[in-house]
């Protein structure tokens, strides 16, 4: 039984722990789950993530009740099929998918996971980032996955729904040290229909595009959409394309925050990244680590954050060789793979 200290790293450690347990076939116990938070223990979205992974490998799970601070996960063989989980809040659907994605390396047949909850909420990958940045980049490295969005869900009601379709995969090595020359940017802006009268989606997109053009970025595409959702909300994504990599920067609308500020925030993050040497953005830096551990390779990241360091420690506990090397303007994380 692998023992993991879950006090630092938030829900990411619990999700990654059960994912790597399923991939390696090794049991794990995570103690002091989210212990450094003001509201420690398991929350609805963590329960949903553990339940989704458990259903994919017929795992025995103990302690995954609301508020629990110790979870034990004993996996069986990973199988495909159909899985459905529900988050009865605006908890993140994409974080549930993050827990399931690494299982592609152990699948023996296709898998479909449908989750309901928040599709575009704080502290998690927004749905445009997930569908247009993370999954396309993984596809270039042998992971065939698709996220189909049935409906959006914003804070506080959630109520969105999406399905992750995952095929058995043998991930290829990640060679993401040199991103190559920039090719241009894509802008995607979404708002709910009840914000259409204020033209929120268009204003977000226009502000982002204007900021990017001021910096001489080539705009490859611009898309504006209006959607239905139980709660009003908006999101904007700026995707930067390079010869050998992708990066994404999203921002969420909030009550009282002008749409122009939302668009400019996403564009500003993209421009800051373009000024540095990273091959992937800071969110992908953390999210790609399980695939780097399994497949091997090297990834240049903007910084070794606390999240990255705790994630690396977890992977080492499962026997993976992962090391980080400080570089000017960031770091390179390497692994020989399994």
Interaxial angle between packed helices 259-274 and 200-214, expressed in degrees from 0 to 180 and rounded to the nearest 10: 30
- Three-class secondary structure of residue 98 per DSSP: helix
Among candidate residues 141, 283, 307, 311, the one labeled active-site is: 307
Predicted pLDDT of residue 3: 97
Predicted pLDDT of residue 328: 85
Q: Which residues are 3's β-sheet partners?
A: 29
Burial of 216 from C-beta contacts in 10 A (0-12 / 13-18 / 19+): exposed
pLDDT tens digits, one per residue of 195-253: 999 999 999 999 999 999 999 999 999 999 999 999 999 999 999 999 999 999 999 99
Q: Which two tokens stand for residue 203?
A: 């204003």
Check if 307 is active-site. Answer: yes
Predicted pLDDT of residue 75: 98
Predicted pLDDT of residue 173: 97
Q: Which two tokens stand for residue 140?
A: 């270039």
Predicted pLDDT of residue 294: 96
Question: Domain spanning 2-176+280-325: which superfamily?
Answer: RNA 3'-terminal phosphate cyclase domain (3.65.10.20)
Question: Are 263 and 206 in contact, with CB atoms under 8 Å apart?
Answer: yes
Predicted pLDDT of residue 338: 81
∠ CA 239-242-246, nearest 5°, is 45
Q: How far apart are CA 250 and CA 117, in angstroms?
A: 19
The domain segmentation of the chain, as residue ranges, is: 2-176+280-325, 182-274
Q: Which residues are 71's β-sheet partners?
A: 30
User: What torsion, rounded to 10 degrees, do the Cα atoms 243, 247, 249, 250 define?
Assistant: 110
CATH architecture of 182-274: 2-Layer Sandwich (3.30)
Predicted pLDDT of residue 306: 87
Q: Which residues are 148's β-sheet partners?
A: 163
Question: Are 179 and 278 in contact, with CB atoms under 8 Å apart?
Answer: yes
Q: How far apart are CA 274 and CA 280, in angstroms?
A: 10
Place of tokens 């409906």: 151
pLDDT tens digits, one per residue of 252-275: 999 999 999 999 999 999 999 999
Predicted pLDDT of residue 280: 97
The DSSP line for 34-47 is: TTTSSS-S--HHHH
Predicted pLDDT of residue 82: 98
Positions of the chain with pLDDT lower than 70, given as ranges:
none
Q: How far apart are CA 107 and CA 23, in angstroms?
A: 9
């Amino acid at each position: 039984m692998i023992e993991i200290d879950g006090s630092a790293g938030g829900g990411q450690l619990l999700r990654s722990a059960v994912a790597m347990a399923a991939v390696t076939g090794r049991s794990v116990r995570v103690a002091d789950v989210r212990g450094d938070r003001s509201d420690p223990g398991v929350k609805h979205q963590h329960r949903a993530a553990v339940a989704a992974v458990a259903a994919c490998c017929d795992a025995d799970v103990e302690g995954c009740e609301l508020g629990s601070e110790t979870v034990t996960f004993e996996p069986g063989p990973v199988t495909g099929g159909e899985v459905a989980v529900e988050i009865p809040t605006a908890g993140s659907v994409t974080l549930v998918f993050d827990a399931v994605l690494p299982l592609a390396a152990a699948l023996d047949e296709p898998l479909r996971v449908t989750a309901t909850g928040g599709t575009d909420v704080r502290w998690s990958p927004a749905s445009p980032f997930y569908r247009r940045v993370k999954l396309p980049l993984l596809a270039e490295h042998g992971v065939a996955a698709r996220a189909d969005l049935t409906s959006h869900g914003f804070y506080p009601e959630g109520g969105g729904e999406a399905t992750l379709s995952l095929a058995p995969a043998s991930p290829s090595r990640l060679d993401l040290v040199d991103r190559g020359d920039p090719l241009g940017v894509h802008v995607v802006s979404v708002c709910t229909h009840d914000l259409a009268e204020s033209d929120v989606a268009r204003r977000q997109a226009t502000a982002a595009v204007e900021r990017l053009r001021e910096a001489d970025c080539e705009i490859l595409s611009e898309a504006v959409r209006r959607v239905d959702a139980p709660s009003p909300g908006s999101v904007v994504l700026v995707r930067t394309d390079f010869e050998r990599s992708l990066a994404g920067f999203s921002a969420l609308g909030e009550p009282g925050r002008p749409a122009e500020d939302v668009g400019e925030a996403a564009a500003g993050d993209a421009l800051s990244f373009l000024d540095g040497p990273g091959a992937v953005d800071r969110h992908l830096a953390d999210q790609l680590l399980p695939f780097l551990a399994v497949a091997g390779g090297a990834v240049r990241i903007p910084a070794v954050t606390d999240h990255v360091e705790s994630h690396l420690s977890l992977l080492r506990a499962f026997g993976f060789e992962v090391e980080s090397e400080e570089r000017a303007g960031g770091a390179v994380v390497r692994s020989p793979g399994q």
